[in-house]
Structure 1
Amino acid sequence: MATVTLANLNKQWGTFTGVSDLSLDIADGEFLVLLGSSGCGKTTTMRMIAGLEEPTSGDIRIDGRLVNGVHPRDRDLAMVFQNYGLYPHMSVAENIAYPLKIRGVGRAERTKMVQQAAERVELNALLDRKPSALSGGQRQRVALARALVRTPKLFLMDEPLSNLDAKLRTVMRAQLKHLQKELATTTIYVTHDQVEAMTLADRIAIMQGGKLQQEGTPATIYSKPANTFVAGFIGSPPMNLIEGEIADNRFSHPNGHVALSFPPASGKVILGQRPEDIALCAHDASELRGIVYASELLGDCTMVCVQLGSALVNVRVAPEEGRRIGEPVGIRLNPDKLHFFDAKTTQRIGA
């Protein structure tokens, strides 16, 4: 187990900045997820922690030890990749044992450690097979067992579930979460999938354009996004964002207005609210009025998308409350669950 400290980390290639002034403290045994879209700098950050990339400036410390310039093999970490990285000519057992073999661990001890690692990920019955005879989920578990067998201080996982189908990803998420808690090994996990981040992480660090946008627990990031990027990235569907103006104790929009007991500011703002906090109502008795753009039955609920001028607002309702496309409807916001963002800076206004 290990702590990880990133202090003012930067990575540049010529005039291009991949990571900009990133500082993070990762606690011993914590599961931290680096989340963001492609090109945001999350994988570059992981590669710098691993020693596969050297930072342009800034410090990386593992257990308080400065590791800038330290070879990857001397950082006592294990990586799990998106493409598994298995040797096709080796059996499952040989793939798992390979890190031990190159470290000079004896055959008897290797066999014992491989059995223990395989048991943790339920691979004991497959040890004699070659990777070509395994499913995607089984190959991913081989890659996990190969990382586990070394009992490193730190796990680094780069999009390890992205090649799996949706059902298998759900199963593997549960296995990963359980395994990490059982081992209590510090884990840094890179993904673009916000569902993975929300379900796996003790803490999430959201990146965009090489910069840290917000870090916190999944509950905090969901309930108090720091800016419109985070609000529009987290949630399925994400938070609704409606541009308007606050004046005379109300939020005004071309399609109606919302009375506010305690307006956070005056002037142009972006109002945010989650789909589950909005209710549909009659078109002529509502705060905001629009037209049904789409209605999707999702099984446990129906997602009704309402067009308010140029904005599309998603409303989560009961399965039987679907509406016809083109039907005039009103929406009523929950006054206790309103979020406001500065229209110019896009940063959150208020607590």
Structure 2
Amino acid sequence: MPTPDDSSTGERIKEQRRRARLSQRALAQRIPYSYSLLNQVECGARVASAAFTAAIAVALGIDVTLLTGPSQATGAQHRRLAALVRPIRESLSLYDLAPGGRIPARPVADLVSDADRLCQEVRATHLRKAARALPEVIGDLTLAATTVPTTETWRALASTYRTAHDIAVKLGFPDLAFVALDRMGWAADRASDPCLAAIRQYRRALGHAEAEQGLGRRLVEAGQALVVDLRSREGLAVAGQLHLGASAVAARAGDSSAVDHHIAAARELAERVGGEAPEVHWLSFGQMNVTLHEMGAAITMRRYDDALRQARALKLPPTTLTSRRSRYLVDRALVEMETGHLDASLRNLVAARRTAPEQTRYHPRTRETVTGLLHTSRRTSESLAGMATWIGL
């Protein structure tokens, strides 16, 4: 059954459509989705995906938050998560003040190691553990950067702000994610590090691409301009990741030719990088990353048959980051559901939960897939009912 949050999203779409004095058919002609889907979303029979909601917002010329409403987590979940990220929020708010009452900063090498460890924790999907440790590390690095500033210290501080962004995105706090990216830009400027600044633009593009396709493209282009002359392994990997970001932006705009162009450019750069590059800003850029983004673009453009073929042909190596493996399993579960393979969909969701429970629980596609399975399954199995309860449906 649809959840209260899903139904309210449909109700908000109906309200905003009526305010714009549009019929359902008139609105459907403005979006890359069918009249039937719009009708089902408005009456609460289908869940509104993030891409669908963003397309509605663009068509109506309104901010997407007018349609999304509260976080997708339940009220109790959201309160617990808000308490978890509150110290991070405070540390970002006080970014330009050295922490009072602290002892002199620890050796820079130790601080850099801490920043790298937190990046690794997030990619291992230990989100709560990283969230609890992050404010203290930000404080120590802020103290070091404001007392004995060095390029290395500013880089490490920028890295912790990026970690704050990643945690905020994965736990469903987009407002905090945008603040973290602003702080990352502030620190990257002081480090005079073009690659860090370019990665920030890549993250900004993905954050804005849902509602503003033109802005997403401009942000990617701004990042590309920062690394255009770099020929190092680091520069090539960051440039390749920017092409992957551009492919995601293009997919949300339904521009398949642009998607193909950027995927091809990313593959060529991955060939030049040679193998995966996990050491480059934790991007793990390489051919596997390109293939996963190609599949993601197919999902975004609702080419589920293509995405299913790609997903089933893909064999993730044992060294694949936990966060990436979990995302692949959730994406595959959605594709299997959309193509009518309901048992396979649930199996992939269960595997994603086993692989990375925190990330899977709060991922919007998990909720979208479980809701779809509840609608289309002839009977609700114990496993599906348990999954629904676990994510708060």
Q: Which of structures 1 and 2 has the larger relative contact order (alpha carbons within 8 angstroms, sep 6+)?
A: 1
TM-score interval, normalised by the smaller of the two chains: under 0.3
TM-score w.r.t. structure 1 length?
A: 0.26
Structure having the higher Rg: 1
TM-score w.r.t. structure 2 length?
A: 0.24
Relative to total residues, which structure has the larger strand share, 1 or 2? Answer: 1
